[in-house]
Amino acid sequence: MSTTQVTLYEIRSDAAWITLNRPERRNALSAELVNDLYRHIEAANADDSVRCIVLTGAGTAFCSGADLKSPPGQLSESSDHAVSYPELLTAIMESSKPVIAAVNGPAFAGGLGLVAASDIIFCDEAAQFSFSEVRIGVIPAMIAVVCLPKLGRHQGMRLFLTGERFNGREAVALGLAHRAVPGDQLVQAVQEEIGTLGLAGPIALQECKKLVRRVPELSVAEAFAETAEWSARVFRSEEAAEGLAAFREKRKASWVRVK
């Protein structure tokens, strides 16, 4: 495991666990933290041993939002490129590996952007969430890009306008999270999800991420035309040939790692 001042990066079995490590600031998004998160996501995507990425927080919070004393978009000592907050959210969304948010505690404002940009969201059922921007006279502008597709206009309107807090179970009901569990079961639940992802072909996972984001942008006719070609291309791949052979021969596919 390698550590930096503001993040932890650890490979656990098939996953790269990236931990926001500013517990004294409730893991607020400083420029250095954003730069480090971006760098770690790039590293995980370049590592063939990594099947998925997990984002979580140190201490009792997931992420309290932007650090107003050191906002994203500034250089750090460990980076020659100042990563903006939209660049970080884009890197999470476009990661070639599935990204799981393991929300261990409060996620407010910009912290909710990290949650919504992730592919799979598990949370402590007691975790608190809030679009708190309006209560300091600003708006959840950039995170709206990733949050509204999950919340929809109806729920997003009230939550944006009120800044009201809601818990992990309510986040599931609102469509912002997939599963809420007691805090002491969160890591185990995420590890089980990692195991489930490990049964899927790595390239198939990448293509599914693209598929989910692409199809809603198309008309019905465009969607059928594009996905027919897409399906044919994937079925011709070496990974598909191995998967189909494993199914016929009643064995595990070559990408499934035996524990």
Q: Which residues are catalytic?
A: 133
Consecutive H or E run containing 192: helix 186-197
Percent helix, strand, coil in the chain, to 5, is: 50, 15, 35
E-strand spans in 51-178? 52-57, 99-103, 107-108, 120-124, 128-130, 166-167
Which SS3 state, helix, strand or coil, does residue 223 take? helix
Asked if 81 contacts 27 with a C-beta cutoff of 8 angstroms, the reply is no
Consecutive H or E run containing 181: strand 179-181
Rg (CA), the chain: 19
Query: Nearest Cα to 114, choosing from 165, 60, 61, 163?
Result: 61
Between CA 48 and CA 53, with CA 49 as vertex, the angle to 5 degrees is: 95
DSSP-derived secondary structure for 56-82: EESTT-SB--B-TTS-SSS--TT-SS-
Q: Is 64 exposed, middle or buried (0-12, 13-18, 19+ CB in 10 A)?
A: buried
Q: At what angle do helices 110-117 and 85-93 cross, to 10 degrees?
A: 20
